[in-house]
Chains A and B, each alone.
Chain A
Amino acid sequence: MDLTIVWESMPRLLGGTVLTLEITFLSLLAGLCLAVPVAVARLSYRRILWMPAYGYMLYFRGTPLLVQLFLVYYGSGQFQPLLDQAGVWFLFREAYFCALLTLTLNTAAYTAEILRGAISAVPRGEIEAARSLGMSGLLLYRRIILPKAFRLALPAYTNEAIFLLQATSLVSIITLLDLTGVARIIVARSFEPYKLYITVALIYLAITYLVAFAARHAERHLSAHLRERPVEGVAGASGR
């Protein structure tokens, strides 16, 4: 089989890979920062906190990412005067910014849902112990609830990160030259879709594998406290 076209395209494909990684990483990071307050608000008893969080999560989890992307990228044009006034139109003109914004809002909604479940799963007794020692509010969240919730959320969050990586391929539709976007252009000129797309697929696969591998390591590290002490010598400690 003649793989010349693959070799020749490789530098450009790797260039696209860099953009894919960049978009994935930045939206994951921003998404996580946004997801924490959203999840906390979602769990609040106060209606003015949980209702907006609920609506936000419902919308971004209940509509296709592609539609959200179109809405922000094409839809923002209709609000140009308004956005201009706010001084942010120059941002919405950029496909890159629209992609980042949409992906961030989308992953934040899913991550908030994951965190909501994890926070609810933090043992009540441990929270009560903290309260009984005078901890409350932000301190309680920061020191006890969130550290425990993050650990519980890690497996599901890894899935979300992998999903987002794949989902970034949609940004090629709004003209960005990510890995998929670059491949589409090369294919359009070379008429070799099979070889190129299989290469692209393998690159996504390799990244996914690396992410899953790193996540497994992180998980082992973070859950050290849940495993029993490794048995020392012959007679192990009398663990429970």
Chain B
Amino acid sequence: MTPDVGPREAALRVTNLHKAFGSLDVLRGISLAAHEHDVIAVMGASGSGKSTLLRCINLLDIPDAGEVHVGGELIHMCFDRRGQRTAADPRQVDRIRTRLGMVFQRFNLWSHMTVLQNIIEAPIRVLGVPRRRAIEQADQLLRKVGLYDKRDDFPAYLSGGQEQRAAIARALAMEPEVLLLDEPTSALDPELVGEVLKVIDDLAAEGRTMLIVTHEIGFARAVSSRTIFLHQGMVNEQGPSRQVLDEPRSERFRRFLSGGNWGRAALTTPSQTGGNE
């Protein structure tokens, strides 16, 4: 029942994950492990199931089969009366989710709250951090992502890049063990991409464990330790980023990498555009 949490236990382990939407098999047996300090880039064509993979990990989508371990703890699943697979213990899911930070393509900041309120909300309400402490911590994070002067603004006042940095700060405020980032820059105007990648780069340098869905090949090469390429619901190729990105073995991946239009900003490291403070 209780898994032994040895020192070598992966921060995140996904085993044989399956997910179908109706007759569409999106994930057909995905396995991966992220050890502490790993930064894993997840690539794949549009519709290959990258978002679905991330969403199945924190159960925003319920996988049809397969296991997810977070820090050695298995997320328990069961079948409800109608035969639907579901989480066995909703409270465990809530608890696990606090340990997995999620950053969305479209930011998803709460528009009725200021940036600061967005960041302190979950630490106070979910983790029970005292308000004063939560604010101190939020201010620190805001400085880190270069948004301290925007702390009392509503999201509608921000640029896309600023919104995404605020969303990253919101996820970090929970002190998650693993960050899941789903194309954090693909909804941004090209000139705003750099400031967000810079923040993520800093997180990688801090040794954060991350799973990043990204089309930024140059960024993946510079920041991620490993790259996983999804194709038709399976891991088509994986390995150390420099190796697989420079010399892809699979024909699919090679074609994907030379696909051109994803290569925007590809050959630049993200450091040329700093935050604005």
Which residue in A133, A151, A229 is a CB contact (below 8 Å) of B122? A133
| A185-224 Cβ-contact flags toward B at 8 Å (1 or 0) | 0000000000000000000000000000000000000001
With A133-B126, A135-B94, A240-B159 known, 6 other A-B pairs at CB within 8 A are: A129-B102, A130-B110, A134-B97, A147-B112, A225-B111, A240-B156
Knowing A224-B154, A226-B156, A239-B159, say if A133 contacts B174 (CB, 8 Å).
yes
User: At the interface, yes or no: B153 with Cβ under 8 Å from chain A?
Assistant: yes
The 3 closest A-B pairs by CB, nearest first: A133-B122, A132-B102, A129-B108
Contact of A143 among B95, B97, B106, B121 (CB under 8 A): B121
Our count of residue pairs bridging A and B at CB distance below 8 angstroms stands at 88
Q: Per-residue 0/1 for B61-99: is the Cβ within 8 Å of any A Cβ (1 yes, 0 no)?
A: 000000000000000000000000000001001110110
CA distance A148 to B112 in the complex (A): 7
9 examples of A-B residue contacts, CB within 8 angstroms: A129-B104, A132-B58, A132-B97, A134-B97, A134-B98, A136-B90, A148-B111, A226-B111, A239-B159
Chain B residues near A227 (CB-CB < 8 A): 156
Residues 148-168 of B contacting A (Cβ, < 8 Å): 153-157, 159-160, 167
Interface residues of A in 122-155 (CB under 8 A from B): 123, 125-126, 128-136, 139, 143-144, 147-148, 151
Known: A126-B110, A132-B58, A132-B97. A228 touches B104 (CB 8 A): no
Which of the residues A139, A225, A226 comes within 8 Å of B126, measured between beta carbons? A139
Which chain A positions have C-beta within 8 A of B121?
Answer: 133, 143
For B99-118 the 0/1 string (1 means CB < 8 A from A) is 01110101011111110000
Residues 106-135 of A contacting B (Cβ, < 8 Å):
123, 125-126, 128-135
Is the pair B157, A228 in contact by a Cβ cutoff of 8 Å?
A: yes
Contact residues, A37-75 vs B (CB, 8 A): none
Task: Identify the A interface with B (CB < 8 A).
Answer: 123, 125-126, 128-136, 139, 143-144, 147-148, 151, 224-229, 237-240
What is the 8 Å Cβ interface bit string for chain B, positions 178-219, against chain A (1 contact, 0 not)? 000000000000000000000000000000000000000000
Residue on A nearest B96 in the bound complex, by CB = A134
Whether A151 lies near B153 (C-beta < 8 A) is: no
Interface residue range, chain B: 35 or more
In the bound complex, how far is the Cα of B126 from the Cα of A228, in angstroms? 30
B60 within 8 A of A: yes
Are the C-beta atoms of B111 and A128 separated by less than 8 Å?
A: no
Residue of B108, B122, B171, B174 touching A123 (CB-CB under 8 A)? B108
In contact, A229 and B98 (Cβ under 8 angstroms): no
**Known contacts A123-B108, A139-B125, A148-B112: A131-B97 contact under CB 8 Å:** yes
- The answer on a CB contact under 8 Å between B94 and A128 is no
Whether the pair B95, A225 counts as a contact (CB closer than 8 A) is: no
Pair B125/A128 contact, Cβ less than 8 Å: no
- B221 at interface, CB cutoff 8 A: no
Across-interface contacts of B174 in A (CB, < 8 A): 133-134
Chain A residue with Cβ nearest B153: A229
B231 lies within 8 A of chain A by Cβ: no
Q: How far is the CB of A128 from chain B (nearest CB, A)?
A: 6
A237 to B7, CA, bound (A): 49
Residues in A with CB closer than 8 Å to B106 are: 125
The answer to whether the Cβ of B170 comes within 8 Å of any Cβ in the partner chain is: yes
Question: Using Cβ atoms and an 8 Å threshold, which residues of chain B touch A237?
Answer: 157
Q: How far is the CB of A147 from chain B (nearest CB, A)?
A: 6
CB-based contact B110/A144 at 8 Å: yes
Cβ-defined contact, B104 with A134, below 8 A? no
Contact A228 to B156, CB < 8 A, known contacts A128-B104, A139-B126, A151-B112: yes
Measured between alpha carbons, how far is A126 from B153 in the docked complex, in Å? Answer: 17
**Minimum distance in angstroms from A143 CB to a CB of chain B:** 6
User: Among the listed B90, B153, B160, B170, which residue makes an inter-chain contact with A133, where contact means beta carbons less than 8 Å apart?
Assistant: B170
Max chain B Cβ within 10 angstroms of own Cβ: one of A126, A129, A228, A229: A129
A74–B159 Cα distance when bound, in Å, is: 62
- The verdict on A135 contacting B100 (CB below 8 Å), with A126-B108, A130-B110 known, is no
Q: Which residues of A contact B110 (CB under 8 A)?
A: 126, 129-130, 144, 148
- The interface residues of chain B lying within 8 Å CB-to-CB of A126 are 108-111
Chain A residue nearest to B173 in the complex (CB):
A133
How far does the alpha carbon of A18 sit from the alpha carbon of B167 in the complex, in Å?
A: 50
Give A225 to B155 CA distance when docked, in angstroms.
8
Question: Do B157 and A239 touch across chains, with their CB atoms under 8 A apart?
Answer: yes
Interface string of B111-155 (1 = CB under 8 A from A): 111100000011001110000000000000000000000000111
Q: Among B60, B125, B160, point to the contact of A135 (Cβ < 8 A).
A: B125
